Amino acid sequence: IGSKYWEPDDSFIRSFEAVTTPLFSSDDCALPVACSGQWGGQAPETYRRIGRTLDLLYLCGGGIVSHPDGPGAGVRAVLQAWQAAVEGIALTDYARDHVELTRSI
């Protein structure tokens, strides 16, 4: 969602739904991947639009290594953003108590 791909967000959602639909049994689904320009700021909308699931690979290259406090803080910021999404808390509110997220947004 909101990536640098040419693909519109709605097309990504349709693709996500297609690869998470079982072919024969519930355990034969592919694991979808969200990548290309991902960072924690996209987590709430991505989480909402993919059906509130954590069953995906969320790949953040620059979203981690470009954090102003280094890659470790970048990882924590992305995790904090996803936790905010799961808990239904706005990123700006969640960031008040999470310095890594604050610095990334």
pTM for the structure as a whole: 0.91
In this structure, the number of other CB atoms found within 10 A of the CB of residue 77 comes to: 29
What pLDDT does 25 receive?
87
What pLDDT does 16 receive?
94
Picking from 24, 32, 41, 45, the residue whose alpha carbon sits closest to that of residue 77 is: 41
Q: Are 1 and 35 in contact (CB under 8 A)?
A: no
pLDDT digits (tens, 9 = 90+) for 43-55: 999 999 999 999 9
Q: Residue 8 corresponds to which tokens in the numbers above?
A: 């519109």
Q: What residue ranges of the chain have pLDDT lower than 50?
A: none
